[in-house]
Amino acid sequence: MIDQLYRKAVLTVSGQKFVEDLVRSRAWSVAQRFVAGEDAASALQAVRELEGDGILGNLDLLGEFVASPEKANEFAEKVLSLLDQANAAGIPPYVSIKLSSVGQGQTVNGEDLGLTNARRIVGRAKQYGGFVCLDMEDHPRVDITLAQFRTLVNEFGNGSVGTVLQSYLYRSEADLAALQDLHPNLRIVKGAYLEPESVAMPDKADVDASYRRLVYAQMKAGNYVNVATHDESIIEDVKHFVLAHGISRDMFEFQMLYGIRRDLQKELAQQGYRVRAYIPYGRDWYAYFSRRIAERPANVMFVLRGMLKG
């Protein structure tokens, strides 16, 4: 409950315009701990550096809730350009996108623009032998995101597109069961949005228990799972689970955030596990940065110290 109250307080304060203006003006040097840079070249360089430690990359151009079709199409073009640049650099493109950033909820020519642009992006990624993960956003977007995920899997296959389930949502276990006919590639996260207690579990112990159930169910179904957590107790439990159930290391990977627990990422890679870092980049970094700060009280002090030095 304390974790929930802390996160709510940070996200409420960070939503104030004057706070955003202050942080944007003073904290970019601090934000670079969590954000690879403001352009694709910086992000691809981060991938190269991680590859040296045996760690893969998952690139995410930051941005969400784009208000106009023109801006949505512009954002989609930037993602397509990222795929082109990664392929040209010899990096198998693996990207995450928020469907709201490419037009989800806006109808153009009789179709949801988010789905139209996602088709373009997944098609390009498949052409290059790459992969697209449809990020999950706040709870009002879950139904439409899962429906569009189903459409894209039916068109491009589950080897080219995946999505995310959030363990703090009460509905996620039912969503997992409903997706099983697709044999989906899923990333399991705890959830970082400020959600009402009517839809999201307020207690960390419940969220953690839900997380384990989702991961184990996906593994037992024989589907690929991205275990996206820095929680070492969960990571150790997953290691024991796969040994006990004879699950191949080719059927899962650990995913962590860029700039957080690099030591743990390297340690897991050295142990022979597949590890992938979620690498955000772009100028629209504030919302993502705020959610990272809301995860741990120590992150607030890190930011304050950096701003005072600036």
Active-site residue, from 7, 124, 141, 187: 187
Q: Which residues pair with 161 in a beta bridge?
A: 132
Q: Which residues pair with 108 in a beta bridge?
A: 111
Q: Both tokens of residue 45?
A: 């360089």
Residue 12 falls within a domain, yes or no? no
Residue 273 falls within a domain, yes or no? yes
Backbone angles phi, psi at 227, to 5 degrees: -85, 95
State in Å, rounded, how far the first CA of the chain is from the last one: 34
Q: Say which amino acid occupies 45.
A: Q
pLDDT of residue 26: 52
Measured N-to-C along each axis, helices 172-179 and 142-156 cross at an angle, to the nearest 10 degrees, of 20
pLDDT of residue 23: 52
pLDDT of residue 72: 96
3-state secondary structure of 13: helix
Residue 200 falls within a domain, yes or no? yes
pLDDT of residue 229: 95
Residue 8 falls within a domain, yes or no? no
Q: Say which amino acid occupies 95.
A: V
Whole-prediction pTM: 0.86
pLDDT of residue 2: 46
pLDDT of residue 25: 47
Indicate the number of domains in the chain.
1
Nearest residue to 183 via CA among 165, 164, 157:
157
Give the length of the chain. 310
* CA distances to 221, 236, 292, 306 from 288, in Å: 32, 27, 6, 18
pLDDT of residue 187: 98
Backbone angles phi, psi at 110, to 5 degrees: 80, 5
Residue 258 falls within a domain, yes or no? yes
Cα–Cα–Cα angle for 272, 132, 117, rounded to 5 degrees: 175
Alpha carbon distance 218, 204 (integer Å): 21
| 159 and 185 Cβ atoms separated by less than 8 Å | yes
pLDDT of residue 260: 85
Residue 267 falls within a domain, yes or no? yes
Q: Say which amino acid occupies 141.
A: R
Active-site residue, from 135, 138, 175, 208: 135
pLDDT of residue 18: 53
Q: Say which amino acid occupies 110.
A: G
pLDDT of residue 52: 95
Q: Give the domain CATH number at 160.
A: 3.20.20.220
Alpha carbon distance 61, 269 (integer Å): 25
Alpha carbon distance 220, 224 (integer Å): 10
The residue range of the domain holding 60 is 35-284
Q: What tens digit of pLDDT does each residue of 44-98 get?
A: 999 999 999 999 999 999 876 788 999 999 999 999 999 999 999 999 999 999 9
Alpha carbon distance 270, 99 (integer Å): 34
3-state secondary structure of 56: strand
Alpha carbon distance 262, 197 (integer Å): 33
Nearest residue to 176 via CA among 122, 212, 126:
212
| 107 and 137 Cβ atoms separated by less than 8 Å | no
| 75 and 61 Cβ atoms separated by less than 8 Å | yes
Is residue 175 part of the annotated active site? The answer reads: no
Segments in the chain forming alpha helices (H): 2-14, 17-26, 28-31, 40-51, 69-88, 113-127, 142-156, 172-179, 204-220, 232-245, 262-270, 286-293, 297-309
Residue 26 falls within a domain, yes or no? no
Q: Is 261 left (phi over 0), alpha (psi -120 to 50) or beta?
A: left
Low-confidence ranges of the chain (pLDDT < 70): 1-32, 64, 285, 287-310
Is residue 187 part of the annotated active site? The answer reads: yes
